[in-house]
Amino acid sequence: MTSQYIINKYNNKVYISLKEGLDIYKNMPLTDLMFAANEIRESLHNKKIVTWQIDRNVNISNICFVQCEFCNFCRKKDSTDAHTTSIEEYRIKIKELFELGGDQLLLQGGMNPALGLNFYVALFKTLKQEFPKLKLHALGPPEIAYLAKKEKLTYLQVLETLINVGLDSLPGAGAEILNNRVRTKLSKGKCSVEEWLNVMRAAHKMGLYTSATMMFGHIETIEERLQHLIYIRDVQSEKPKNAPGFNAFIPWPVQLQDTKLQNKISIQNVTGSEYLRLLAISRIMLPNIPNIQASWLTVGKNIAQIALHAGANDLGSIMIEENVVSAAGATFTITANEMKQLIIDAGFEPKQRNQKYQIVESL
Ligand code: SF4
């Protein structure tokens, strides 16, 4: 298999199969893989531009019944530091966000069983009434699947209710590895593969912008990683013609510091070259997902810069606040100016974007 073989398949609009993907992933030199991924990236995007964003992650609560093996953030409800974010705290965080030039909250769990659909409706309504320009990139398939079960509603009904009170887009959170063997071992209380994909199918029918993610480098096999990509690709192929569907794919290596999983099994950290290999094969196997995002937060700035030559066209957000992967050891931070310089130093022109990947006026 050569990079030209991959590029020919891409030009002929033929997907790389699982078998071909495995051969490429395991046997192709990294430089060839990066070359092919970069060719695809350049055919989809202006080759000089790398996009980035300003948003703020806020966790609705740290109380979570799921208790994933890789999570060092969640708390039980009677824990002394159990916390649910108050409206006053949101106000302060949103004002800071606007001052820093962002307009979007990435609102995520934990999945606090005390919070039903009415809680989220009231929260979204209040935030949108007080801050009409605020964008809510909120929850994710595990929360939507949980709320549907709890309220005895369909995914479409839950999503419609939330869209009506201000949900702007749905993050691809909680995908980890889309494989039920892995999910049963690591995050038993979370939705299954089928539920995750079906929530996304419903979101695409509702016309929501969504993203897809992968947290890799733990107990999954290479084949399970590539099958994950194929699930995403297939759901994207089914979306209604004019729906945006998944507008980005974001893979990142698991962070395990002080987690239950770290104490149970020995897991080798994902190396820079392994990350680049995964990123490049993602670009190659997901030709119907427009954007591939490099995760500076988990791999560091230097590897993130190289990732821009391995298929990634976006560096994600400066993340004014991030709590979940940071609690498990991801400690990198970045300012807007540093983000722009990082992109310039990698040989590109930085452009600030919104969640729809539209270029916005930079700071
Ligand atoms: S990763 Fe998310 S769903 Fe899993 S335990 Fe932590 S907060 Fe809960």
Q: Where are the domains of the chain?
A: 41-352
Question: Residue 311: which of 299, 294, 298 has the closest Cα?
Answer: 294
How far does residue 87's CA lie from ligand 1's centre (Å)?
22
Nearest atom, ligand 1, residue 187 CA = 4
**Fold of the 41-352 domain:** TIM Barrel (3.20.20)
Strand pairing partners for 169?
137, 209
pLDDT of residue 71: 92
Indicate if ligand 1 lies below 6 Å from the C-beta of 140: no
* CA-closest residue to ligand 1 atom 1: 71
The residue to mutate among 84, 187, 252, 258, having the most atoms of ligand 1 within 8 angstroms of its beta carbon, is 187
Quick check: CB of 62 below 6 Å from ligand 1? no
Would strands 56-59 and 167-170 be described as parallel, antiparallel, or unpaired? Answer: unpaired
Nearest CA to ligand 1 atom 7: 110
Query: Do the strands 56-59 and 104-108 form a parallel or antiparallel pair, or are they unpaired?
Result: parallel
Q: How far apart are CA 243 and CA 359, in angstroms?
A: 20
The rounded Å distance from CA 196 to ligand 1 centre is 15
- 3-state class (DSSP) for residue 108: strand
- Indicate if ligand 1 lies below 6 Å from the C-beta of 215: no
Centroid of ligand 1 to alpha carbon of 28 (angstroms)? 35
Cα 1 to ligand 1 centroid, rounded to whole Å: 40
| Three-state SS at 50 | strand
* Cβ–Cβ under 8 Å, residues 280 and 37: yes
Among 61, 63, 67, which is best to mutate for testing ligand 1, by the most ligand atoms less than 8 A from CB? 67
Pocket test for ligand 1, best of 69, 74, 106, 191 (most atoms within 8 A of CB): 74
Closest of 230, 270, 229, 234 to residue 252, by C-alpha: 270
Number of the ligand 1 atom closest to the C-alpha atom of 109:
7
Ligand 1 contacts CB of residue 67 (under 6 A): yes
Rounded to the nearest angstrom, the distance between the alpha carbon of 56 and the centre of ligand 1 is 18
66, 108, 254: which to mutate for ligand 1, most atoms within 8 A of CB?
Answer: 66
Residue nearest to atom 2 of ligand 1 (CA): 110
pLDDT by residue for the chain (363 residues), tens only, comes to: 899 999 999 999 999 999 999 999 999 999 999 999 999 999 999 999 999 999 999 999 999 999 999 998 999 999 999 999 999 999 999 999 999 889 999 999 889 999 999 999 999 999 999 999 999 999 999 999 999 999 999 999 999 999 999 999 999 999 999 999 999 999 999 999 999 999 999 999 999 999 999 999 999 999 999 999 999 999 999 999 999 999 999 999 999 888 999 888 888 889 999 999 999 999 999 999 999 999 998 999 999 999 999 999 999 998 776 666 666 666 667 889 999 999 999 999 999 999 999 999 765
Token output for 279: 């990123």
- Write out the H or E segment, with its range, that includes residue 5: helix 3-11
Answer yes or no: is the C-beta of 192 below 6 A from any ligand 1 atom.
no
**pTM for the whole thing?**
0.95
Whether the CB of 187 sits within 6 Å of ligand 1 = yes
Q: Is 224 exposed, middle or buried (0-12, 13-18, 19+ CB in 10 A)?
A: middle
Q: What is the dihedral of CA 307, 309, 314, 319, to 10 degrees?
A: 30
Only one residue has tokens 């929360």, namely 143
- Residue 196: left (phi > 0), alpha (psi -120 to 50), or beta? alpha
- The confidence score (pLDDT) of residue 324 equals 67
CA 75 to centroid of ligand 1, rounded, Å: 9
Give residue 177 CA to ligand 1 midpoint distance, Å: 14
